[in-house]
Structure 1
Amino acid sequence: MNSSLKDYDVLVVGGGATGSGVLLDAASRGLKVALVESDDIGSKTSSASSKLIHGGLRYLERGEVRLVAESLRERAILQKTASHLVKPLGFVIPVHSRSRLKGVSKLFGLSATLWGYDLAGSIRSSKAHRRLGVDETLKLLPTLQREDLVGSLLYHDAFADDSRLCLNVCITAQKHFGADIFTHTRVEGFTSPGASGYAEVNCLPDTSVGDGQPFTLRSRVVVLAGGLANGALSELARSNSGVGIVPAKGVHLAVHGSKLPLNSAGAIEVGDGRRIFVVPWGEYSYFGTTDTPFNGPVSAPDIDNSDVEYLLSAINARFSTKVSKADITGGWSGLRPLLKPDIDASDTTELSRKYEILTPTPWAIVVAGGKLTTYRAMAQSAVDLVCEKLDHQRNSMTSRINLVGSYPVSDRAQLTARVRSHLPSQLGSETLNSVTTHLIERYGAQAVSVIKTMGQDPSSYQALAGGDLVGEFEYQIKHELASSVSDLLMRRSRIAILDHSKAELELEAASDAIARYKELNTSQIEAQKTQFLSSIARLRVGNG
């Protein structure tokens, strides 16, 4: 396909949560739309979040009621439209105090805040919060320190695999609404619309995933949704968006679940007035996040020793099973693009997660700020503005569009039976059960399609070191936009962030699949492997 001959109504630059949301919203309104992403879908901030779809309790404590209410409304929508990815999760807030009277008083104060959280919208899609005694608390957080524990409060939010959420939004736009997607393609420049009414966007693909031949796309409107890259993109477009962005670094660390056993998530208070989350994820538990200003290269925020010491100190102050650096199996680091306030932004914990949509030129729209939970609402607002510019009279439908793979939770038993019936009959019962669970958890209702691609050879269903199946990579390459080994191991699978060593053991299998199904040469595969190992080294604890 000579893409330089294709014209679009809307071109989205940036394949994170916001850009993916804009792609689906615009395509579902009948607009001809494409997305260009310099790396993989959800490869930057959107895959380095806390993996939570939530209202944000601390925002309510700061008085940002409208933001919390919007976030909780979006959570309710996503639990319906992306049920296989956005799953209910309980959070325990334990209270420790040497004075029982002060501890009980604190529990009452937190309960009042959580009633506000419930009334702001949480109870629309989950249960109301409740108070737990010491024994109930320890059943959910077994290694929490009993000493000075007064009790806890249990409230409800949701967990999501963030990169898969972004991916499924894009695939839904592509498969159901005809959107075009160009990943691993850098925008090199813009040309303002002339008499044709179309802006030109010059694109350059990454040579490690293809032929690297430059091409040009044309569009009536360009939406810049590049997060921290919006500043550079605005300069290329010769426009001043008028919005400042402050990068805030957030780090999470992972350990094996046996080291930090969790039967619920927890929101643990630390000495600086913040809370860190502890969250169960399959065989692992993770904890974070840090929230600090960042002044380094935005393309590669690493995990340094100060991040590790902060998080270990916070965990070990409240849990009896002491976690050391040696226990850490994985981790991730990302930068949140926060709106810059008028005052000094030395403390990013106080900055809002609100967003802004600006129009620096008649043909360009910039979306800045925000949080993962509100991506759909941000996208809807941006596309409302696009439609206004194009005089296109169609309302958003994304609150009612089920993403690829979504299914009613009540149909889980039926889906399980259908998946089992399609698997090779030679698989033993234990393997059959584990493979069925694995495929449904990762792909939802698409699990049968995955099996059809993997075929009936039992060897395709053998588990690799990190739990991925031998034959999965083929499906991810052919049907999930994966073009590199990092795409496979860091975002289609999440083993590379949960367990760096196990991901390295899967590298050869991933490389062989990319070479086979993408038809790349040896030098391209070696470049991909080098890039992947460099990413792992940057995230490995103790590198700084």
Structure 2
Amino acid sequence: MATATLPRTEFGGATTTVDVLVIGGGITGAAVAYEAASRGLQVAVVERDDFGGATSAATGKLIHGGLRYLKQFDVRLVRESLAERRTLMSIAPNLVGPIGMVLPDPGLIERVGLTAYDLLSADRNRIEDPTKHIPRHRILRHDALVARGLPNLDSGALFHDAMMAFPERLTLAFLRSAAAHGALVANGVGVETIIGGAGRVVGAHVRDHLSGRVGEIRARVTVNATGPWARDVLAASPITEQLAGPEPTVRSEGIYLVTRELSPTMVLTVSGHGHFSFAPWRGLSLVGPTETPYHGAVDEWRLTRAAVEKFISAINEASMVPVHLDVDDVIAAYGGLRPLTEQAGEDTYNASRASELVDHAKQGMAGIVSATGGKYTNSRAFAQKAVDSLARGAGLSVSPSTTATRLLVGCEGTRRSALTSTALDATSVAIVEEIYGSDAPAVIGLADERPELARAVTHDGIPLAALVHSARHESARSLTDLLIRRTGIGTAAPPTDDDLAEMARLAGAELGWDDVRVVAEVTATRHALGLPDD
């Protein structure tokens, strides 16, 4: 099977004409691009930074039905989410799989909610792969909880959702699937100005930050899929400025901490107006999220030391896991702003996570829509409905949707028996299969051909061959792109300085960097992966 590449399109210079221009290469933009391209439309996707970054990277890695949304009586969202949980395990089997979690000391309301959760997902096991089957919830007593490393709990409800250990790879799989259907895809390309006239948007002027060249993309429909930046994108262009509306008074900040493994079982904690969990992840624990109102500009948000320390205090006060944490226990931390619909108000915890497609024709400007809200779990379903809607509005002819049943590119053939390698041990082979799916043989082949690339540079076995493969085939522009959003090498724990230097050298050999660029990449990546000082 040929390696699934992600070719980067250069948009500088001549005018490009498509049916759909998608602004934003996060999970929403990626899913819309794939849906539209797979149904016969000509698509272009531009992302000013890197694919799957920012909000799409600030995730708890769950693919879930949203048990707590039942408390808000949002049954439709829960039902759709549960159906999409099954769909994503089907179309991305190497990337999404079941995970069990414990809700401590459930009361009557929680037990009723879990029963409803089971009933709403009655078709959850209509999936070919038996390893993706999800059981009904059950109540665990103290002895069973002790066996799961939770000796402080008297009772707990065990239920299952799904997890994606490498969410950036899922975004990439949607983009590669879009590209396989002819979509033009580029990172490092920002929108300079949305263009049009006489009450219609016709595309955008864009700038390629690699070449510095400016180009024009003309489209029948422009989709603003920029998450928390959606309002700012509209406000930055004279033709759409009136569509932007007032600056939101509040957005929702969520951060996560990575620590040593604190519990082998995922455990939920609900307190006050927030919730967080300890999730086993790559032999470590992922703790989060916070739910904090943020009142500043989107581009000014950053993870701060104070936010990390405040979250640690909340964990120590309310956690259902018997641990005490301090800053020295934090291996890594990340976060971002959630793309809530702008009606959230100050109560960001109870704000809807439903996606919304805003057709600005209703405000007098045809040819542009904004995608707001949403989450990973529902991205494909939202994209299907969005393409139906924009096709009707623009008079575009589309074929029936097949995205719920077709394996994503790079995820085909991943139910094979375990691969073998002359250079990689079984642990490295297994994680390469999980990350790269049907491209795993190419990564393993690199390690076998060049033994120096077989060396594992993470605690869970990711080899240097992964970095070289992604540098060659997956449109990475920087070492940070490679370590955080392609390979997973940098998301669990920062590499050593010696490893960073070697990885920068290997990436530079593939991407044409000189010695000055290699040193700059090491410095920038060390800063990106480290904990904040202030």
Normalised by the length of structure 2, the TM-score is 0.88
- Give secondary structure in 2 for the equivalent of 1:464: coil
Corresponding residue for residue 269 of structure 1: 270
| 1:8 equivalent in alignment to 2:2 | no
Corresponding residue for residue 32 of structure 1: 42
Deviation of 1:252 after TM superposition, in Å, equals 0.7
Corresponding residue for residue 99 of structure 2: 89
Corresponding residue to 1:401 among 400, 406, 410: 406
Corresponding residue for residue 369 of structure 1: 373
1:303, 1:504 → 2: CA distance? 23
Corresponding residue to 1:534 among 512, 527, 531: 527
Amino acid at match of 2:120: A
Corresponding residue to 2:206 among 193, 203, 207: 203
Corresponding residue for residue 62 of structure 2: 52
2:330, 2:308 → 1: CA distance? 13
2:208, 2:452 → 1: CA distance? 35
1:355, 1:26 → 2: CA distance? 17
2:297, 2:518 → 1: CA distance? 26
- Unmatched tracts of structure 1, length 5 or more: 96-105
Corresponding residue for residue 220 of structure 1: 220
- Unmatched tracts of structure 2, length 5 or more: 1-8, 126-133
Corresponding residue to 1:457 among 450, 462, 467: 450
- Give secondary structure in 1 for the equivalent of 2:391: helix
Corresponding residue for residue 330 of structure 2: 328
Structure 1 segment 28-427 matched on structure 2, within 5 A: 28-95=38-105, 106-121=106-121, 124-125=124-125, 126-140=134-148, 142=149, 144-146=150-152, 149-160=153-164, 161-174=166-179, 176-192=180-196, 199-206=202-209, 210-237=210-237, 238-239=239-240, 240=243, 246-257=250-261, 260-262=262-264, 264-270=265-271, 272-299=272-299, 300-315=301-316, 317-341=319-343, 345-360=345-360, 361-388=365-392, 389-407=394-412, 411-412=415-416, 414=417, 416=418, 419-420=419-420, 423-424=421-422, 427=423
- Give secondary structure in 2 for the equivalent of 1:507: helix
Deviation of 1:432 after TM superposition, in Å, equals 2.6
Superposed CA RMSD in Å reads 2.5
Amino acid at match of 1:477: A
Deviation of 1:216 after TM superposition, in Å, equals 2.3
Corresponding residue for residue 491 of structure 2: 497
1:472, 1:495 → 2: CA distance? 9
| 1:448 equivalent in alignment to 2:441 | yes
- Give secondary structure in 1 for the equivalent of 2:349: helix
Amino acid at match of 1:326: D
Amino acid at match of 1:77: T
- Give secondary structure in 1 for the equivalent of 2:379: helix
CA distance 1:454–1:30, change in 2 (3 Å): farther
2:115, 2:472 → 1: CA distance? 47
**Comparing 37-46 with 346-355, which one deviates more in the overlay?**
346-355
CA distance 1:530–1:458, change in 2 (3 Å): closer
Residues 494-516 of structure 1: CA distance to partner in whole angstroms, max 9, x if unpaired? Answer: 3433213x265532233223321
Residues 447-475 of structure 1: CA distance to partner in whole angstroms, max 9, x if unpaired? Answer: 11323455512222111255431222221
1:524, 1:496 → 2: CA distance? 19
Identity level (%)? 29
Contact 1:169–1:403 (CA<8 Å) still a contact in 2?
Answer: yes
Corresponding residue for residue 480 of structure 1: 474
1:158, 1:22 → 2: CA distance? 22
